[in-house]
Each structure stands twice: as C-alpha cells, then as structure tokens.
Amino acid sequence: MTVIAVVLVFGFFTYNAQVNMESRGIDFGYGFLSQESSFDVQFSLIEYDGSHSYFRAYLVGLLNTILVSVIGIILATILGVIVGIARLSPNYLINKFAAFYVEFFRNIPLLLQIFFWYFAALRALPLPQDADAMFGIAFLTIKGLYVPAFIWQNFNIFFYSILAAIIAIIVIRIQAKKLQETQGKQTPVLLISIGLILILPLLSFLIGGVRLSFEVPVLKQLATTSFIYEGGVSLPPELIALALSLSLYTATFIAECVRAGIQGVGKGQKEAAASIGLTPNQVLKLVVMPQALRIIIPPTTNQYLNLTKNSSLAAAIAYPDLVLVFAGTALMQTGKAIEIVSITMFTYLSLSISISLLMNWYNKKIAITEK
C-alpha cells in the first residue's frame, strides 16, 4: 500500500513537471552549467568574470559560503568557549555578564542581527578618505576592511618548513606519550612544539631565501569625492557583517554546550583529582576537559552545521554566497528552477554530511575506549 502511494505521488509530480516545462518551453538538463554565465560577482576567491561558465559561478558561490562558514566557526568557537567558561566563573560579575550576553543574542533572530550590523552598525564607519589607520597598516571603512597583503618569495620553502615542523611535533608527541606510558617520564612537549614551530620557519628565512614583504593599502582618488584603497586585501562589509553576526549568534549556543559539558563532569571527578595532588590547571586539563569534550562535541557539531546552513542568509545582504550567486542570479538568467534548486540543496546536504562525518570521526576518537 505505502509503496503504491509513494509511487503514485511521485508519478503525479513528475507528470505535472513535464507538462509544465513543456508548456513553458524549458527543457530539463544540466548542460547549462558549461555555458557562458555573463554576469559578474563582486567578491570571489578565484578568478571570475562574466565570460566564465555557470559551473565556475557555482564554484565561486560555494567557496564564498565555505569561507564565511570557516571564519564564523573559528570565531564562534573561540567566543563560545570563553563565554561558556565565564558562565561557570565564581566571579558574580563575569558570570552575569556572560549570562546577559547569551540571553541577549540568543533571543534575537539572526536575520535581524545581520541587518543590524550591515545596515546600521557598519554604515556608521568612516568613508575611505576619513578612515584612521589601525596600527598604521589596516583601514576599516564603510567600503570594507583593508589589510596589507603578504608578498612572498620562495613561499613553497616556507610552507614546507611549517609542514615539517608540524610533522615533527606529531612524531614527538607520539614518542612522548609512549615514553610516559612505558617509563613514566614526562617530556616538556609544549615547549618543544612551540620551539619547533618558531625555529623551523625562522630558519627558512635565514637559509632558505624566503622573503616576506607587505603591500599596504594606499588611498587613491578616483574622482573629486570618490576615494578607494588600492593594494592589499580588501574584505567587503557584507563578509564582515555576516561573519560577525553568525559568530556572535552561534557563540551563544556553543557557550551553552560548553557550560553543560563542564557541568556534566561529576563533582567527584574534580575532587578525586584534587585529592591526588593535581593543581587546578592540571585538573582542568587532564581530568575535566577530556570528559567534558565528550559531552560538548555532539551538540557543538550541530551548531557548526547550523552556522553553515545559516550562512545562506547572506542572500539578504547581497554577500555573493551559493544561494545568491547560483539560486539567485543564475536561476533568474536560465530559468532552470528544478536543476538549480536541486543542485543547491544537494550541495548543502553534502556540506552538512561531510561536517557531521568529520565531527563523528573526531568524536569517536575521543570517546571512552573501554579496555
């Protein structure tokens, strides 16, 4: 019965879709992806203009979505962990301040926050010609944030040196752990790691011929009243508003996850750790955090997924993300509603699934290994 019902419903929809598309003169197919797109995107990580294909436009949108999600996730995690720990502070003022932050930002719709930052707060920034330099190199203006660009010579050597340092650190950590488990000796892993990650790249500057110079943005006059910064890297205000509001909003949820996780570790664990003579820092690092992480990670993964999905609100302030570029402009131009909406949804589905797979793997790694 159920099978028949499902098949009937799908058959009905497909039939209607065919009739409708025939009557409107649209044919079904993904061939349009290789056609010339002939529209421009304001901000893209890869080279793009109107002569590129629709598929390239799709990539631009996807990369922009990933960029804002990654920035948002990093900022939200940092802020969320700090606020979550602050909510457990014995200090009354810090505690209440963190609680106020959480209650305030959590109960206001994200879209409203994005609008607020973009249309109200960032519009109060100075014009390019009036902007004061931050630290003498970066400029925060109404047209975006301008930061110096790095210009590398022999960048690959520098990159390899960092890679080598990371590999060396991993090897040393494994060795140190083995040493501690077999002989009970402790090695100052943190000091060695910091030393390695500083010294190896430094060596690459001294010996490897790596040179680094900065290209500081310079004010340039286009017309009598129109100014622009040239050189350096410019981050559009849409990106700043979006990343800011996404991280401020999601951080409240992450803070609650962190708080619940730390509170979920039994009081006995802390007292037992303290009674065998661990310092408060050691208690936090060696006893509380490893157990709390197990509680924190699954809901935090959900929040990361939510942030990625919420980044689609970018369409509301014209940040060229996947929804705006592909499901907006490209859809308007080609009229291929079914194909484009299905590709967009499929992309988000696979993004969500890949993040959740990654976090599941990490979760499994730190889960209790029963011996």
Partner 1 sequence: MSKINFLKPDKSNLYTFLYLGSFLFFISILDVLLNSFFSLNITGFLPSFLSFLLPLILGFVGLYFIRIELSGIKQLDLLNKNINTNNFNAILSLLIIFIILKSIPPILSWFFIDASFAGNSKDVCTGSGACWTYIKVWMRRFMYGMYPNGEQWRINLSFIALALLGSVGYFATDKFKKYLTLYYVVIYPFIAFLFIFFFISGGPVFFDFSYGIIAAILSIIIGFFIPSKFKFYYFLIVPLGLYILLKYFIFYEELIELGKLDGLNWVETGAWGGLSLTFIISFFCLIFCFPIGMAFALGRRSGFPLVRYISIGFIEFWRGVPLITVLFMSAVMFPMFLPADFFIDKLVRCIIAISLFEAAYVAEVIRGGLQALPRGQYEAAKSLGMGYWRMHIFVILPQALKLVIPGIANTFLALVKDTPLIFVVGLLEIVGMLNLAKTNPEWLGFAMEGYVFAAIIFWIICYAMSKYSYNLEEKYKTDR
Q: Which residues bind partner 1 (CB under 8 A)?
A: 2-3, 6, 13-14, 16-17, 19-21, 23, 89-94, 97, 103-104, 106-113, 115-116, 119-121, 123, 309-310, 312-313, 315-316, 323, 327, 331, 337-338, 341-342, 344-345, 348-349, 352-353
Beta-carbon contacts of 303 under 8 Å, excluding residues fewer than 6 positions away, are 76, 80, 250, 253, 254, 257
Q: Which tokens hold the place of 75?
A: 């900022």
Query: To the nearest whole angstrom, how small is the minimum distance from the Cβ of residue 309 to partner 1?
Result: 4
Per DSSP, the three-state class of 222 is coil
Query: To the nearest whole angstrom, how small is the minimum distance from the Cβ of residue 21 to partner 1?
Result: 7
User: Residue 234: phi, psi to the nearest 5?
Assistant: -115, 130
Q: Which is nearer to partner 1, 2 or 51 (CB)?
A: 2
Query: To the nearest whole angstrom, how small is the minimum distance from the Cβ of residue 244 to partner 1?
Result: 14
Query: For the chain, how big is the Rg over CA atoms in Å?
Result: 26
Kindly report the three-state secondary structure assignment for every residue of 73-135. Answer: HHHHHHHHHHHHHHCCCCCHHHHHHHHHHHHHHHCCCHHHHHHHHHHHHHHHCCCHHHCCEEC
Q: Which is nearer to partner 1, 103 or 215 (CB)?
A: 103
Q: Which is nearer to partner 1, 197 or 331 (CB)?
A: 331
Q: Which is nearer to partner 1, 210 or 246 (CB)?
A: 246
Query: To the nearest whole angstrom, how small is the minimum distance from the Cβ of residue 362 to partner 1?
Result: 19
Query: To the nearest whole angstrom, how small is the minimum distance from the Cβ of residue 159 to partner 1?
Result: 35
Beta-carbon contacts of 187 under 8 Å, excluding residues fewer than 6 positions away, are 172, 176, 179, 180
Q: Which is nearer to partner 1, 101 or 146 (CB)?
A: 101
Q: Which tokens hold the place of 340?
A: 């484009």
Query: To the nearest whole angstrom, how small is the minimum distance from the Cβ of residue 111 to partner 1?
Result: 4
CA-nearest of 99, 104, 97, 143 to 122 is 143
Beta-carbon contacts of 193 under 8 Å, excluding residues fewer than 6 positions away, are 169, 172, 173
Q: Which is nearer to partner 1, 111 or 198 (CB)?
A: 111
Beta-carbon contacts of 3 under 8 Å, excluding residues fewer than 6 positions away, are none
Buried b (16+ CB within 10 A) or exposed e, 347-362: bbeebeeebbeebeee
- Specify which residues 146 forms β-bridges with: 139, 234
Query: To the nearest whole angstrom, how small is the minimum distance from the Cβ of residue 129 to partner 1?
Result: 21
Q: Which tokens hold the place of 93?
A: 């003022």
Query: To the nearest whole angstrom, how small is the minimum distance from the Cβ of residue 155 to partner 1?
Result: 36
Q: Which is nearer to partner 1, 39 or 97 (CB)?
A: 97
Distance CA 260, CA 252 (A): 12
Q: Which is nearer to partner 1, 86 or 210 (CB)?
A: 86
CA-nearest of 214, 228, 238, 206 to 152 is 214
Query: To the nearest whole angstrom, how small is the minimum distance from the Cβ of residue 127 to partner 1?
Result: 15
* 80, amino acid identity: G
Distance CA 336, CA 23 (A): 14
Q: Which is nearer to partner 1, 120 or 137 (CB)?
A: 120
